[in-house]
Structure 1
């Protein structure tokens, strides 16, 4: 696994903030690495440095002669009126048959490729850009927040692409579920340092928690020992008979050092205002039609949302999720039908792009003061600001200098200062880091009010949603099962589409011979299915044993060896599980 791109002794500062402080890392042509870090830590800056779009203050970026670097462009690379196939041919200089062959991996059929690209939704345009990326045959991809604003179908296709991609990948994402499904290694940027971990993001977070607890216990033991030595020295240094012992103890005291607790950074603390639990419908619609002056997006909507439920609104991009949320918030009038909220419902709203409309000249405290309920004290404002990492001088910062993630945090902080028993949240996790999204999910699960929300973050949806509403095909309906079932249905639809041969058709085959071959294939699949199940069970036992050993292992070399083995097992289990799903479908076990 040759190193194709590395960072050596890198330093980068913005004002008073040190983003890179003697940081180093190496990227190979076969590792899939998820880059994580707090908002403002410098992840996007690091990507720009690796791409050659920004310079270091000191240090070096070393690029192998064999490096073929590819990155997912966020800007619009299409010419006016250019179709998908025309763009792919122009960008890659490949023939149309090759472009079509690669495009098929992203479910881009002739109907999409022959349409002007700018007429396609953002998700379909991303698929075209991904096909163009692959046509250049890169051996290292850099993807900065690739899942932002992508619908579920496009995310799943992107996952398929990254899992099957036979080269290196560096992915920056706040979506923990996406990182777990696509990356085998985790690179954390924290306090100017880069740390590579040979495992996925879940394994990294679990290991970080274990190491933090170990370091805290070690520090507690050190402090206790320090206190014991100090007491001995104070009691014995004046005594001629024990003075030499006191001096020896003083030397021991000098050698005692506390270790820095790994990853122990300030965290956001969400605590939504307490509300009285209520029963019955929070909102009901009858024959509702939603849309705009020139068109109807969906009609004949009959839904009922119960008090205390947490409803995830799902559907492909462009189908009307945001239109539906705007209508039930009454910021967009219904086209037809009725919408009725229950008595005493007080709505708090987080809109998808609200953080871009804030008054740039206001400070953090100014904004929170305007949002706060009547009677909120200045100290309460400062307490909420501090819990969202705007403490001290940071609370006086102007909104114009805040990053996108900081502005999103500020808007969420404002919601906590208002009195609501219903929250309507449109993509609340966008631009938030992994830890903040986790904190938001935990707070919403404890919230006694009603939550109606959309999110492209599957881990967040899985954690929060207790009910699902699906928007698509001109309809808005309550989905009859869980969010996980919805994801499974969409995944099966995509897999079936990708397995289908473009253009259909096929040769005629004798029925008897075909039946015989099918029966033999089915028996072989059943046999393989059992073997895969036994292998997964054996690997799960090995994982449990290794995890238990790591909890009592403090030697760095041994710990690294076990972490590497654990990452290898996790990767093998993921491959086997994917095979198990395919075999289960083929044999009818599902």
Structure 2
């Protein structure tokens, strides 16, 4: 299958920073690829090069002649006062009925089509952009951080769309959960090089870590062998009877080779403040009503959050999560009722309005020195800055030249220099790469204070949350189930909405709900055949997966580099076959789901 996108020896620099250094990769039209890499690694630059909007210094990006790229834009493409349908018609040059038909796939319908786009939330604006993208009838999609501003429900809707999309796509995202759900291949951009792995983001990270560990063990064994040979040579090369043996050992020593292992890229190592463990109620809401002078957002709020809790505040965008947090911390006054904090609580706040309004002319060092607890000395401040990747001359950078991700890290660093025993975190994972989110999770695991937070990153919430507070329908309540049950309930609601839409369409067109007898018979026959193929594929995939695991164990144990390379090649071949079979399994599974829904 010829590639739809062929990246050949791509090279690109910005100043002294090398983003692409002879990077190469080939992507075919059925690839569902997650593009990952550190903040600033050059992922967006690569996307622009593919689209033809960024000129390379060397190399080229070759597109198949029949490829039509669709790009989900991060910037705002809307005109002042433009309605949803007006933007879609202008952008796509399609009639209003066609725009409405495609928009309905993202639940944009009715009065919303005539609403000004700028009045919509960021999540709904992303849905509008996705609609515009599809109206251009692309054959391959490029989505740059598509989950930014999307609530969980909209992420699930986007996932369902992508799973049913027949073409290929390339997704840039730091959201590991989203990539796991939508991508079966992983493209990593690191140190200017591209590596394409036939597996999910989690499989890739596991393989990368295991491979590095294996290579380190091989090198350790090679080093031990080299020392042994060198000792023999040193002891025997001067002896008349042993000089020939020493010479032979020298040849063996010269033939030894080490596996080249790239040094790890700098990672944030986040330290947490050491605070006293407290018991009892951290905060109590009694008969609370939250909102603004012209409207109530939620009322009748009565709940307690205990010290040491990790409370995730969840709900769709626009339901009032941020309003609730702002009321808790006192930046928004309650409309009625009260918020009572426990004794000796010291609250640290992380939110977009905080890190977007940092003092522009302060340096990184100045800012951190200004917000630190008095007990923390200058050297400790620099150590914390370094743990958030502000090292060397970077601490002298002014806030106004920092990227969004750098400002987010700076704000978090300042928060953890404050020794707060309560942390209020509004979307702390935004602008942080996968590795930094992991480091933040580990830090919060060790933190013995209380955390109240919002996040649309399912991986982050799964790692951190010990209780769930839902903001929905004008109410804020503890929900008794865990986060997995909450996600399952959302998924069921989306399926129910889809079912209602289908039922309404059928009713509106006056169709008979039952299939004709012969059609039912044919569908049942096809369903049986599909189910048989699914079972066969599941058996084969399980067998190959056992083989893959056995090969991986061998890789971890073997010390001979030549044999290790052979096993690695076989491991890769088995992984490729599994990926191919899983693709077939998914197609048959989708057929079965169609039969069951029909």
User: Which residue in the other structure is 1:558 paired with?
Assistant: 570
The answer as to whether partners of 2:271 and 2:384 remain within 8 angstroms in 1 is: no
TM-score, with normalisation over the residues of structure 1? 0.91
Question: How big is the shift at 1:224?
Answer: 1.1
Residue 102 of structure 2 is matched in structure 1 by 102
CA deviation string 1:312-350 (max 9, x = no partner): 111111221111111111222222211011112221211
Q: 2:548·2:571 contact (CA, 8 Å) conserved in 1?
A: no
Is the contact made by 2:527 and 2:591 (CA closer than 8 Å) also made in structure 1?
no
Tell me: CA distance 1:456–1:573, structure 2 relative to 1, closer, same or farther (3 Å).
farther
Name the CA distance, whole Å, in 2 between partners of 1:303 and 1:576: 47
> Which deviates further from its counterpart, 338-347 or 444-453?
444-453
Match 2:549 to one of 525, 547, 550: 547
Deviating more after overlay: 237-246 vs 279-288: 237-246
Q: Deviations over 1:40-78 (max 9, x none)?
A: 211111112222222112221222322211101222323
Deviations along 1:386-413, one digit per CA (max 9) or x if unpaired, are 2222233333333333322222222222
The number of residues matched between the two structures is 585
Q: Which residue of 2 aligns with 1:166?
A: 166
CA RMSD in angstroms comes to 3.1
The runs of 5 or more residues in structure 1 that have no matched partner are none
DSSP-derived class of the 1:505 partner: helix
Change (3 A) 1:311 1:574: farther
* Structure 1 residues 51 and 337: CA distance shift in structure 2, 3 A: same
Structure 1 residues 545, 446: CA separation in 2 closer, same or farther (over 3 Å shift)? farther
TM-score, reference length from structure 2: 0.89
8 Å CA contact 1:9–1:22 kept in 2: the answer is: yes
Residue 87 (structure 2) pairs with residue 75 (structure 1): no
Partner of residue 398, structure 1: 398
Task: After TM superposition, list the pairs within 5 Å mapping 1:172-251 onto structure 2.
Answer: 172-251=172-251
* 8 Å contact kept, 1:539–1:573: no
Change (3 A) 1:306 1:532: farther
| Structure 2 residue 453 is the aligned partner of structure 1 residue 453 | yes
Q: 1:270 to 1:510 in 2, by over 3 A?
A: closer
Match of 1:330 in 2: 330
1:105–1:498 CA contact under 8 A, matched in 2:
no
SS in 1 for 2:352: coil
1:430: Cα distance to partner?
Answer: 0.6
Q: Does 1:17 align with 2:17?
A: yes
Correspondence list, 1:84-483, <5 A? 84-261=84-261, 264-483=264-483
Q: Aligned pair in 2 of structure 1 residues 535, 246: CA closer, same or farther (>3 Å)?
A: closer
Contact 2:534 2:585 survives alignment (8 Å): no
List aligned pairs for 1:521-532, cutoff 5 A: none
Instruction: Give me the whole-angstrom Cα distance separating, in 1, the residues matched to 2:263 and 2:578.
Output: 21
How far is the alpha carbon of 1:383 from its aligned partner? 2.0
Question: Is contact 2:506–2:513 with CA below 8 Å preserved after alignment?
Answer: no
Residues 187 and 284 of structure 1, relative CA distance in 2, 3 Å threshold: same
Shift of 1:124: 1.6
* Shift, 1:481, TM fit: 1.1
CA distance in structure 1 between the aligned counterparts of 2:145 and 2:454, rounded to whole angstroms: 18
